[in-house]
Structure 1
Amino acid sequence: MPAFTKPPKSHLMTYRIGRGEQGVLTYEPYKSYLLPHWRFRTVPIAQASSETLWNKFLEFYEQNDFVGMDMARKFIQMGMTRSKRYANYKGGRKYVDGRGKGNMIEKSKGHDGEKEKEKASGIFKEVWERCRHHQGYQEMKKEFLRVQKEWLKTEGRVKPEDQEVERMPKKRNNSRIKVEDANETGVALQGRDSRSNLTERASLS
């Protein structure tokens, strides 16, 4: 795979941290660079994939590239939530219409691959926790948001949605499951995108 070329600042400033995995399958060139490393079909594959993405996370840190770090974190988080969804639902379908809205399908038990996907989710979750608590990541996140805010003001591009970058997702009061485990952040959002379904099938190959 060719070496990654960091985009110019004008492009990086368009990045949004967002909620969960939001934007993971749309923000280029990071998406195309990291996507080939994202797999979760079996436990060994999930182990190799999560460690590769973790190494990419660290490489971006050494290159002082916060956007790359956060995109690697999003792919790792998506490995956790997608695996969890396949552990909870036979065939990985959470909604009747296959999209991130409408009537939910009842969780299944004892289906083929349930235990393996549960283990795969745990593997990604451990690496995701590493990303979240990485001191350099936390410091670079604050600096990125500060620089982005100033850049948007200078460029005259401040919009209401630009002020939403630092907000954390709200937990639903009627949920008894953690947001990341319930797959309510990025996966539900990505489920509305047909490209997500094609990408997910590739990760299971």
Structure 2
Amino acid sequence: MTDDTELGDGPEYDVDFRADPDAYEIGRGEAGVFKVEPYKSELLPLWSYRDEAAAEEAAEAIYERYERYRERDEFPGMDMARKYLQMGYTRAMRYAKYPSGRKYGDDGVERDPQRWADRDKRAAALVFEEYWERVREDDAYQRSKARHRARTD
């Protein structure tokens, strides 16, 4: 018998990152999007990249959460919002380039991307990219990230 964490059903970390922000490690790319609580539970339900309209609604809602986290100087939340926006872009772009989102064939070999296999997903990706860029370039995000690194290094 395995426990839930081995199956991927439970939290990866037994940490409330809002209560203990110094335990948060920035990581690369989208690392932690399905593991860092309470942010996963707050952001994942907002996230959708079905089409441009869904992406616009999702990206706007996630950005609004980002602004709340920024107002509270809550860097882990700010960074997780950035990661969900980034993930919206990367996932939608995968479907935009690869029919049914499958980057690899049954033989494990990477398929050639198509330009554009799904135009709706490309439009969704571009929506997320705009919001993702807004967060990345936000001076408050950059300052908070630098302070967080200085505290945790």
TM-score (norm 1): 0.63
Alignment length, in residue pairs?
A: 138
Matches of 1:38 and 1:140, distance apart in 2: 24
Equivalent position of 1:75 in the other structure: 84
Structure 1: gaps of 5 or more residues:
150-205
One of 13, 19, 27 as aligned partner of 1:8: 19
Structure 2 CA distance for partners of 1:59 and 1:110, relative to 1, 3 Å: closer
Query: What is the aligned-residue identity percentage?
Result: 40
Equivalent position of 2:113 in the other structure: 107
Q: Does 1:126 align with 2:130?
A: yes
How big is the shift at 1:51? Answer: 0.6
Aligned 8 A contact 2:104 2:110 in 1: yes
Matches of 2:136 and 2:59, distance apart in 1: 14
- Higher relative contact order at CA 8 Å, sep ≥6: structure 1 or structure 2? 1
Q: Quick one: which amino acid aligns to residue 8 of structure 1?
A: A
Q: Does 1:26 align with 2:35?
A: yes
What secondary structure sits across from 2:23 in the alignment?
coil
TM-score (norm 2): 0.84
How big is the shift at 1:67? Answer: 0.4
How big is the shift at 1:32? Answer: 1.2
Q: Quick one: which amino acid aligns to residue 147 of structure 1?
A: R
Structure 2: gaps of 5 or more residues:
1-15
Equivalent position of 1:51 in the other structure: 60
